[in-house]
Amino acid sequence: MQGIEFERVLLSSIIFEPSIFGAVIKEGLNYTDFSIDFHQKVFKAIEELNIDSYIEEGLIATKLGNSFDERLMLAILTANPVHNIIPYVKNIISKASLSKLRTDAVALVAMIDEGASYSEAISYSQKYNNIETRGTSLKIHKLSEIHGCDAEFIGKSFLPFPKATVSMVAAAGGVGKTFLLIQAAMRIIDEDNLKIFMWLTEDKIEISKKRAEVIANDVMDSNLNKYDDMFYMAGSDSETTHFLESTKEGIRVSSEFYRFQKMVEDFDVIIIDPLIAVFGGDENSNPHAKQFISLFTTWAANTGKTIIFIHHATKGTSTQRGASAFADAVRLIYQIEKIHKKDSEDSSINQLDNGMRNIIVAKDNYGSTKYLGSTEVKKRIFPAEKRIPIVNARILQR
């Protein structure tokens, strides 16, 4: 009996005898240890029911809603439950750990094949792939031993982002989120002297360069050449790769994520536009979204990098689309909205208000508003003299 069968037996045993669930949790089993998405969702539902109600097949189905798969649930329920559940728990945890080791090993081999030195390979292995025994990673501190401090921000004078963590900027198409982040990157360089990489996956690099020129010359009254050693871009000429990938065993981290870490290790700030281009999972799946963002929060915490995702909004709103776990897992969210006014000569023409946009703080775990001064501010995105009718603005203002 291997893999998926062990998982079915475990889940069947818990449903048949919910009292064993405490022993399962004590062993350190997590929903991410299951190899297929449906088993992860069932275990997550069991966790929630254990707190709020009682564990029962019908309630699990209700919890899963549209994600409920009657065929896969039947396979679980027809697996013979067992009384001694611990060997099954340990087997599942072991296989999950081996799967991560396999992914890490693939990434390390790829790194070596691309010419990494021995010291670089060892450094990578130690930096990103520390293996911890289950249940021993909790670090408990006495309050008097902790040195309290405020979160550190970059870009405080224009658009502040918390350092060494993950943030998100969301807007509908055509609002100007790319323009905003290009300007924010330049101002971070001016203020904090940080090296920035911006991956604009949807645009030709020549178009992004032209946008940067317009911002430098006509918005910031600056010289683009001054950013040459600190501001780097990639565009649609670079092949996009997914950092999560689906396998017959479920969703897992792609080796491309570790390749990407290696390629951008010299940068302080990493901006990816849009998030969905490198995601690879189900955009509406909370487990997938959480697993994806956790890759970047761990990376940011371990290396001090600041990571910013540009994300599409739900149609007709400025709210980030997809699973709620995207918003839950990041520390800061800005939403961008247009400011409209009627043209004085023809009130039927709705125009963009002089290159300005509303920036709304939709999530603020670390206190960006103390630098912004409000939860909603206006920022100039486009040159002041250009008032662009919406019908003509869609191509330029992405």
Q: What is the mean pLDDT of each run of 10 residues along the chain (398 residues)?
A: 84 91 86 91 90 83 91 93 90 85 79 75 60 58 88 96 96 90 97 97 94 95 94 92 79 83 93 94 90 91 94 82 90 90 52 78 95 94 63 45
Q: What is the pLDDT of residue 194?
A: 98
Residue 111, CB half-sphere, CA atoms under 13 Å: how many? Answer: 26
Three-state DSSP class for residue 192: helix
- Looking at 78, 94, 110, the residue that finishes a domain is 94
Measured CA to CA, the distance from residue 360 to residue 311 in angstroms comes to 15
Q: Which residues face 356 on adjacent strands?
A: 380
Residues 89 and 159 in one domain: no
Residues 235 and 342 in one domain: yes
Residue 296 lies in a domain: yes
Residues 169 and 64 in one domain: no
> Could you tell me the CA-to-CA distances from 264 to 20, 137, 257, 292 in Å, in that order?
46, 28, 11, 18
Contact 158, 378 (CB under 8 A): no
Residues 213 and 321 in one domain: yes
Residue 128 lies in a domain: no
**E strand or H helix that includes residue 245:** strand 244-247
CATH number at residue 207: 3.40.50.300
Residue 294 lies in a domain: yes
Q: What is the pLDDT of residue 141?
A: 86
Residues 236 and 327 in one domain: yes
Residues 159 and 44 in one domain: no
Measured CA to CA, the distance from residue 357 to residue 170 in angstroms comes to 13
Residue 134 lies in a domain: no
Residue 364 lies in a domain: yes
Total domain count for the chain?
2
Q: Residues 246, 247, 253, 254: is their CA dihedral positive or negative?
A: negative
Residues 365 and 280 in one domain: yes
Residue 29 structural domain: 4-94
Q: What is the pLDDT of residue 110?
A: 80
Residues 339 and 253 in one domain: yes
Distance of CA 378 to the CA centre of its chain: 26
CB atoms within 10 A of CB 283: 17
- Looking at 44, 61, 94, the residue that finishes a domain is 94
Contact 212, 185 (CB under 8 A): no
Residue 18 lies in a domain: yes
